[in-house]
Amino acid sequence: MAGPYTPEAVVEHPDAVEQLHKEYLRAGADVAQAFTFYASDGKIQMSDTTTEYTCEELNQAACDIALKVARPAGALVCGPLSPTPTYNGGKGDKAAVQAEFRKQFEIYVKNKVDFLLAEFIGYVEEAEWAIEVLKTSGMPVACTLRIGPMGDLAGVSPGECAVRMARAGADILGINCQFDPFTCNKTIKLMKDALDEAGLHPYLMLQPLGFHVPETVNNPHGYTDLPECPLGLESRTITRFDVHRWVREAYEIGVRYFGGCCGFEAYHIREISAALAEERGFREPGADKYVPWGGGLSMSVMPQSQAKVGQEYWSKLKPACGRPECCKPLGIKGSSNGTTTATNGVKATA
């Protein structure tokens, strides 16, 4: 159910979650991130979908699945933690907030995952509190904010957020969710510049949306204010070639940890692997079934696709949204029966 987003699937449908992990790893992922988003007792109690599971039960079930799939594949396992309802926009008590974070990560320490990730944090102050308590685990700590170029929900700039997170002890820091890949690149650049100026050099991480939402760049809440959110976002889905361009741009900025959040599918993860094949020195396990840039298109089945084989065509393509009455591409007129026609010889390509 969209909204609560609690991870009871790890208990109720572990086979489905296991299969999803396998798809990501076969696509080239180096990390299996336990599926525990908002698995805190406070959030579970607020959810309309489940009140019968505890944070400990969900996190243990998620660890069991991630470890089962990742260890034989030689992948790392990440233990993620979510924002706490206790923080409440800065009104919560620090000790109580940190106690809630501690309860989330105790299972990860017990299961000996490889590192911890405090993700989807809206306020840098809560991020600092999370990093501080996570560091007591003795494990590597990553932390990502759900911010755009405007900064956190209290108006703290991206640069200041990054510096504060680094000084709190984050080994890896960056952004996840809320904004599209190219908006995230703008934000991480602001963070990188501030870190460089302060002489701080943590690893940088991005896990953006799998949707195009550029009009939210000046909205601190990101895509959640769009009319299509959360049930009509498919028409905004990024292509694999968008992913390739995003990854290369972000790599040049200095990002070294790439992933995806809402809207990312296994084929997007595969494109991250393909885009960085030279730097990584190897290709993903499923590479034998994937030829980049349309090189696998069959001329016998799709003879009209000869011109579409190669980077030149696909990297410059600007896909239409599939909703002509919304996009209004140049030269296209909508008819009364809902169909579209091209005029003056202009092709129906946005």
Starting at the edge strand found earlier in the chain, the sheet holding 203-207 runs 31-33, 76-81, 115-121, 141-145, 172-176, 203-207, 255-258
* Burial of 59 per CB tally in 10 Å (0-12, 13-18, 19+): buried
- 252 with 336, same domain: the answer is no
Question: What is the overall mean pLDDT for the chain?
Answer: 88
Q: Is residue 69 part of a domain?
A: yes
- 329 with 261, same domain: the answer is no
User: What residue type is assigned to position 153 of the chain?
Assistant: L
73: which 2 tokens? 């594949």
- Which tens digit of pLDDT belongs to each residue from 234-260? 989 999 999 999 999 999 999 999 999
Q: Is residue 304 part of a domain?
A: no
- 257 with 340, same domain: the answer is no
- 347 with 207, same domain: the answer is no
Q: Which domain holds residue 217?
A: 9-292
Q: Is residue 125 part of a domain?
A: yes
- 197 with 325, same domain: the answer is no
- 102 with 229, same domain: the answer is yes
Q: Is residue 303 part of a domain?
A: no
Q: Is residue 181 part of a domain?
A: yes
Whether the bond between 14 and the residue before it is cis, its omega within 30 degrees of 0, is no
| β-strands 340-342, 332-334 pairing | antiparallel
CATH number at residue 171: 3.20.20.330
CB 279, CB 21: distance < 8 Å: no
* Burial of 237 per CB tally in 10 Å (0-12, 13-18, 19+): middle
- 286 with 333, same domain: the answer is no
- 213 with 346, same domain: the answer is no
Which of 292, 311, 341 is at the close of a domain? Answer: 292
CB 158, CB 187: distance < 8 Å: yes
Q: Is residue 102 part of a domain?
A: yes
Q: 342 pLDDT exceeds 60? A: no
- 129 with 253, same domain: the answer is yes
d(CA 178, CA 216): 9
Identify the three-state secondary structure at position 217. coil
- 161 with 228, same domain: the answer is yes
pLDDT (0 to 100) of residue 316:
86
- 230 with 334, same domain: the answer is no
- 288 with 329, same domain: the answer is no
**For the residues 264-289, what does the mean pLDDT come to?**
92
Q: What DSSP string describes 111-151?
A: HT-SEEEEEEES-HHHHHHHHHHHGGGTS-EEEEE--BTTB
Q: Which of 168-182, 271-285, 314-328, 329-343 has the lowest mean pLDDT?
A: 329-343
Q: Which of 42-56, 91-105, 233-247, 250-264 has the lowest mean pLDDT?
A: 42-56
Instruction: Tally the domains of the chain.
Output: 2
Q: Is residue 1 part of a domain?
A: no
**For the residues 153-171, what does the mean pLDDT come to?**
98
65: which 2 tokens? 């699945």
d(CA 18, CA 16): 5
- Which tens digit of pLDDT belongs to each residue from 111-120? 999 999 999 9
pLDDT (0 to 100) of residue 315:
86
Q: Is residue 195 part of a domain?
A: yes
